[in-house]
């Protein structure tokens, strides 16, 4: 049998995240993940297949679907889910310790409107139908500070084009970082992209978090260490 031509082989995207887990999990987190993750983890059929309407991931009807890439320990997505019960939220996070932490919160708060993708967000994004999301969050992505690693940064022109495909017209795309050089990268790449409009009209717009933004441990740590976050809100044209 002849081998498939190399030009037709689909290669995985360049890895944009670091480690998948640290040594061990506390019993509370391990137990929560064992209990909750099988109920919440999204499963996709193998192969390319047809694109999927993310509303179908939820047991009850949701008015909107929001998408968070790299939710860390889950403080932000949990806050948004509790305060927006009519919205379905999909959280992507390859770091399993963070997934376990969020599973603890979901179990404790009895949250019903979160679904999890514990892997590279791009693998899920390519299976979602166009104009599916009403809001998308990218909070404190890995800065990959060395020049030779800039290709690993999540925000690239190609990724922004994919994000634009998934957002409805007028939908919000929110980003945050406490890394100054990455902030310049995020702003430059997104501002130059033809599918997005920056909503800021004054410096306070990127220095002050949105009103519905929870204060997280990571955010407080950055401020304490002299690294106040910046907040970018773009809209899909």
What is the secondary structure of 113-129 as a DSSP string?
SEEEE-S-HHHHHTTBP
**Stated pTM of the model:** 0.89
Mean pLDDT of the chain: 89
CA-to-CA distance for 206 and 199, rounded, in angstroms?
A: 9
User: Domain ranges in the chain?
Assistant: 52-236
Question: Can you list the positions of beta strands (E) in 35-117?
Answer: 64-69, 87-92, 114-117
* Nearby residues of 89 by Cβ (< 8 Å), 6 or more positions away: 65, 66, 67, 68, 77, 80, 81, 113, 114, 115
Helix-helix angle 157-166:180-192, to 10 degrees: 60
CA angle 218, 211, 116 (to 5 degrees): 55
Residues labelled catalytic: 142
Kindly report the CATH class assigned to 52-236: alpha beta
Q: What percent of the chain has pLDDT over 90?
A: 78
The pLDDT score that the predictor gives to residue 1 is: 32
For 14-72, the pLDDT digits (tens) are 654 544 555 667 788 989 899 999 999 998 877 666 799 999 999 999 999 999 999 99
d(CA 187, CA 155): 10
DSSP 3-state of 38: helix
Chain segment 57-110, per-residue pLDDT in tens: 999 999 999 999 999 999 999 999 999 999 999 999 999 999 999 999 999 999
Q: 47-51, 130-134, 230-234 — which is least confidently predicted?
A: 47-51
Host H or E run for residue 30: helix 27-40
Q: Highest-confidence range of 1-10, 65-74, 212-221, by mean pLDDT? A: 65-74
- pLDDT at residue 216 above 90? no
- Mean pLDDT (whole number) for 215-236: 88
């Amino acid at each position: 049998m002849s081998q498939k031509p190399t030009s037709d082989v689909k290669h995985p995207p360049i890895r944009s995240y670091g480690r998948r887990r640290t040594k061990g999990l506390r019993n509370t987190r391990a137990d929560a993940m064992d209990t909750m993750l099988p109920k919440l983890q999204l499963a996709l059929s193998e192969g390319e297949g047809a694109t999927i309407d993310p509303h179908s991931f939820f047991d009850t009807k949701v008015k909107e679907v929001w998408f968070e890439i790299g939710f860390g320990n889950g403080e932000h997505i949990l806050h948004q889910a509790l305060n927006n019960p009519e919205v379905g939220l999909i959280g992507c996070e390859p770091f399993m310790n963070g997934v376990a932490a969020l599973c603890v919160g979901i179990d404790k708060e009895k949250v019903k409107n979160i679904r999890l993708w514990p892997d590279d967000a791009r693998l899920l994004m390519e299976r979602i139908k166009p104009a599916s999301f009403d809001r998308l969050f990218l909070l404190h992505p890995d800065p990959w500070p060395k020049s030779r690693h800039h290709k690993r940064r999540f925000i690239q022109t190609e990724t922004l084009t994919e994000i634009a495909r998934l957002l409805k017209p007028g939908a919000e795309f929110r980003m945050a970082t406490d890394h100054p050089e990455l902030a310049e990268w995020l702003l430059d790449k997104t501002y130059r992209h033809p599918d997005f409009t920056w909503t800021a009209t004054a410096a306070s717009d990127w220095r002050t978090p949105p009103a519905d933004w929870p204060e997280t441990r990571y955010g407080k740590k950055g401020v304490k260490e002299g690294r106040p976050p910046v907040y970018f809100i773009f809209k899909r044209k």
